[in-house]
Structure 1
Amino acid sequence: MTSLTAVDPARIDALATELRTLLGEACVTTEAASLERASVDGAGMSPLIKELLPLGRAQLVATPTSKDLIAATVAAAVRHGVPVTPRGKGTGNYGQGIPMGGGLVLDTSRARRILDAGNGWIEAEAGAVIWAMEQHANRNQQQLWMYPSTAQSTIGGFVAGGSGGTGSIANGLLHQGFVLAVEVVHALPEPTVVRVEGADAVPYLHNYGTAGIITAVRVGTEPAQPWRALLASFPTYEQVVGLMRPLASLTPTPRLVSGDRAEIAACLPADLAIPAGRASLRAILDEASVADATALIEAAGGTVDRVLEGAQHTVKLSMNSYNHPIEWLQKSSAEPYFHVEVLGDALVDDLAAVEAVYPGGMLHIEAQRDRPIGMLAAPYVSPAQVLEGFDRLAALGVRTHNPHQWAVDFEPERTTALAATTDPLGLLNPGKLGAVVHEHTGTQM
């Protein structure tokens, strides 16, 4: 890409002047290094998107320190006609946080107060770190229903861009009851914040802030459990995959069950102490189910290598689940790898056929409430190679989600209709709604 979209510098200067008065000098910057940092996310994980970078560059960064100041910042940007791209910790993987329209990057990470908590819920500003929310809940003998594999993400970033994570075996995805309420600012000239609850909050989830910028979130909690980190290893990966359903069916339900081939396991952090040359199974289990899990593992030909108590151990397993093993594989390999998100019983029942869709294919697998999900990785050749595999996976009964694009793909028609009212000037995270990145975008899992 030879040129990037930019807003008239006069409008940027005028907005910067207003925001410095509103937020303070320390919360507004046009410094080059800050603009560069605010213009990237984890899009390099996709070799298809990496070929297109850079996709956009911020012209101004603001870091409001409260939910009310987030709302005031959005209104100021609207009055000056400047696009607004919201950002939490920037841990998204596929370009959804890149300011493709230039303009303002609104960094919410300093609006991080935990506002209140009660039996079954906790509420925080959008920039609150999810692991801090989990710790706060723990002090009240509660736990979050779920948290993402990147536990240091912000709650606003997670609900605006994520899907599920640790806890999803029992509790499903974030739009299936986890989010109890959101406060959202619409893109209007005066600060306009609405609070929506229950099903009414769902249209604002997983749309990257294109229909409204989240300022506060209330999510579900449940009674805390005594979790244990279990690490096991096996001679073959097929033995690991065969345990996804039995382990997911344990009582109490595990918080996480992840598995990798020996080739991927060898790329994971050394302090996990995974035995060389063996496939890896990692699980977060209630202490009451450790004995049953051990029996299943040993009956399947595996060895329980360690059972560890303490949040530092369980969160480490979370941080090495979902996309993260593929990231470690990419970092460790001299050749580029891509991945496709996959879901279906064939991941267990027809593993060899699934992996054979792509030459050199290797599946990272996760137990899930209804059926296993995973990340199918393979050496990267071309976009055509990636996209052609989708039809072959569909023929195996495998649903796919294409991570090599940044467009809103969860109820996009609903989001477009909502944004017509909430963002009439099209200033919220432009380039992400209605975009077509590749001819075949896959389906939402």
Structure 2
Amino acid sequence: MTLIDTPAPTPAPPAPTAEALDALAAELRELLGERNVSTEERVRERASLDGAWMSPIISEQLPLGLADVVAFPTSAELIAATVGAAVRHGVPITPRGKGTGNYGQGIPLAGGLVLDLTRARAVVEVGDGFITAEAGAQMVVLEQAAWKTDQALWMYPSTAQSTIGGFLSGGSGGTGTIEHGSNDRGYVLALDVVHADPTGVLVHVEGDGAQPYVHNYGTAGIIARATVRLEPLRDWRGVYASFPDLPSAMRVVRQVGHMQPPPRLVSADNPEISSTLPPDDAIPAGRASLRAIVSADMLHAVADAVDVAGGRIEAVREGPQTSMRISMLSYNHPIEWYQKATDRTTFHVEVSGEALIDRLAEVEAVYPHGLLHIEAGHSVPIGMLAGAYESAEQVYDGIARLNELGVGVHNPHQWNVDFEVERTVRLARTTDPTGLLNPGKLNPDYAGPRKGAIK
């Protein structure tokens, strides 16, 4: 990704003075109450870290920033009022959901205020084809609310306890992506966002007007409330299968991923990764594991595909909770389990393309002890490629070699906005003219294969 003629971002804000921080904390205590504002060191430290520990490159640089004040607004309106107060005092604002993001996008690089949104968690309305909730509502809670009306979310991330605001600001896909693509493709119907405005007002945007606020880490506006799409609840079944090796499982990933109606999720791992997953009789030791969420009327077709590939069905499970359990074993979660179980220092990069299946041995050989977790994607296979970590240079050189193999790569070892960067910079120049919203994350010059490019 080469950025040419991209407008310069707003300048970094000056460090807030002690007087400004004290005044902000006092104002927020009046606004939110004592229990919803903290300047205690342990609270500030906890609010200044996220899931970036999965990256040894980022971990080597920690700590990257420490909050001066942490605020916990309990409604969308109070989110707006809190942002307005911080803007009036010239204090940088870093929004935070559950802190499950893996790229450091929730770390307050400039200090200032960490805006923890997890207490603004009301589900406002469940309607025909939509659900509205405040930014801190967990995705699993939204899914459960939808189930009660015989509906389900279009998609939700593998970390189902993450918040709707965090998923829209920092995530991109998950369960449901095979059919619906990423969360910037019509999933969002409307948002109430907050700009760096001293008046602290909510700005309502809908349809195409909402899309520029998705996946930009709150650098152009902080999501306070969201309305996203629902679909009719289907008779989903959870299928667990095992195979002698990963190549056998991958053929089924590709085949099942193209079935109609589309499955909700298809994931597979080789025996080394599968052995580190939470114990389950349906994930036998020494075999590659495949987990899928498929329509009940596709069970026979899936079973036939598994049989032809030399695998066996280990379990077929019913009920909406089954989907949630399988979801939590998808995307980067198997790599996380593997990282925790191995003595090696490991890392991962996000990969995509048919080469993941057609050139598996070459792909895994790019990194020492390379291991691939595979998913059926919206148009091509996607996955997480893990390797034994030696240096940042090794990781970046490997990205270039993967590109040569025809593999698309997203580098998760950086915290910069790398989706629609030009659009976000132009929007932020209007919505955040003083650069107070999550400063340090919107750097248009931070591009290229070594710095976070997407092929």
How far apart are the structure 2 equivalents of 1:240 and 1:228? 19
- Tell me which residue corresponds to 1:50: 59
Task: Specify the SS of the correspondent of 1:307.
Answer: strand
- Tell me which residue corresponds to 2:231: 222
- Tell me which residue corresponds to 1:91: 100
Q: Determine whether 1:116 maps to 2:125.
A: yes
Q: Determine whether 1:358 maps to 2:367.
A: yes
Give 1:212's match in structure 2, choosing from 191, 212, 221.
Answer: 221
Give 1:382's match in structure 2, choosing from 363, 384, 391.
Answer: 391
- Tell me which residue corresponds to 1:436: 446
- Tell me which residue corresponds to 1:397: 406
Question: Which amino acid in 1 is paired with 2:298?
Answer: S
User: How big is each residue's C-alpha offset from its partner over 1:338-379, in whole Å with a ceiling of 9 and x where there is no partner?
Assistant: 111111010111111111111211110000121000101110
How far apart are the structure 1 equivalents of 2:62 and 2:54? 12
Tell me if structure 2 keeps the 8 A contact 1:405–1:438.
Answer: no
- Tell me which residue corresponds to 2:137: 128
- Tell me which residue corresponds to 1:346: 355
Task: Specify the SS of the correspondent of 2:329.
Answer: coil
Structure with bigger RCO (C-alpha 8 Å, 6+ apart): 2
Tell me if structure 1 keeps the 8 A contact 2:447–2:453.
Answer: no
- Tell me which residue corresponds to 1:12: 21
Q: Determine whether 1:414 maps to 2:423.
A: yes
Task: Specify the SS of the correspondent of 2:331.
Answer: coil
Task: Specify the SS of the correspondent of 1:20.
Answer: helix
Question: Which amino acid in 2 is paired with 1:337?
Answer: T
User: How big is each residue's C-alpha offset from its partner over 1:232-251, in whole Å with a ceiling of 9 and x where there is no partner?
Assistant: 10001100111122101222
Tell me if structure 2 keeps the 8 A contact 1:390–1:442.
Answer: no
Give 2:185's match in structure 1, choosing from 176, 184, 193.
Answer: 176
In structure 1, the gaps of 5 or more residues are none
- Tell me which residue corresponds to 1:79: 88
How far apart are the structure 2 equivalents of 1:263 and 1:152? 27
- Tell me which residue corresponds to 2:171: 162
**Deviation for aligned residue 1:33:** 1.2
How far apart are the structure 1 equivalents of 2:282 and 2:236? 20
User: How big is each residue's C-alpha offset from its partner over 1:32-73, in whole Å with a ceiling of 9 and x where there is no partner?
Assistant: 111111010011100100000000001111101100000000
**Deviation for aligned residue 1:311:** 2.5
- Tell me which residue corresponds to 1:371: 380
Question: Which amino acid in 1 is paired with 2:151?
Answer: Q
How far apart are the structure 2 equivalents of 1:9 and 1:330? 40
How far apart are the structure 2 equivalents of 1:28 and 1:133? 27
User: How big is each residue's C-alpha offset from its partner over 1:57-90, in whole Å with a ceiling of 9 and x where there is no partner?
Assistant: 0111110110000000000000000000001111
Q: Determine whether 1:66 maps to 2:81.
A: no
User: How big is each residue's C-alpha offset from its partner over 1:102-153, in whole Å with a ceiling of 9 and x where there is no partner?
Assistant: 0101111111111112111111111111111111111111110000000011
How far apart are the structure 1 equivalents of 2:124 and 2:103? 30
**Deviation for aligned residue 1:444:** 3.2
How far apart are the structure 2 equivalents of 1:73 and 1:416? 23
**Deviation for aligned residue 1:437:** 8.6
Tell me if structure 2 keeps the 8 A contact 1:405–1:437.
Answer: no
Tell me if structure 2 keeps the 8 A contact 1:28–1:62.
Answer: yes
Question: Which amino acid in 2 is paired with 1:347?
Answer: L
Give 2:295's match in structure 1, choosing from 276, 286, 300.
Answer: 286
How far apart are the structure 2 equivalents of 1:339 and 1:438? 18
How far apart are the structure 1 equivalents of 2:252 and 2:216? 34
Tell me if structure 2 keeps the 8 A contact 1:6–1:59.
Answer: no
- Tell me which residue corresponds to 2:7: none
Percentage of identical aligned residues: 58
Structure 1 residues 442 and 102: alpha-carbon distance in aligned structure 2, compared to 1, 3 A threshold: closer
**Deviation for aligned residue 1:206:** 0.5
Task: Specify the SS of the correspondent of 1:163.
Answer: coil
Structure 1 residues 15 and 272: alpha-carbon distance in aligned structure 2, compared to 1, 3 A threshold: farther
Question: Which amino acid in 2 is paired with 1:443?
Answer: A
Tell me if structure 1 keeps the 8 A contact 2:191–2:206.
Answer: yes
Map residues 181-200 of structure 1 onto 2, 5 A cutoff: 181-200=190-209
Question: Which amino acid in 2 is paired with 1:440?
Answer: R
Give 1:151's match in structure 2, choosing from 149, 160, 163.
Answer: 160
Question: Which amino acid in 2 is paired with 1:283?
Answer: A
Question: Which amino acid in 2 is paired with 1:249?
Answer: H
Tell me if structure 2 keeps the 8 A contact 1:210–1:429.
Answer: yes
Taking structure 2 as the reference length, the TM-score comes to: 0.95
- Tell me which residue corresponds to 1:233: 242
- Tell me which residue corresponds to 1:37: 46
Structure 1 residues 310 and 272: alpha-carbon distance in aligned structure 2, compared to 1, 3 A threshold: farther
Question: Which amino acid in 1 is paired with 2:453?
Answer: T
**Deviation for aligned residue 1:198:** 1.4
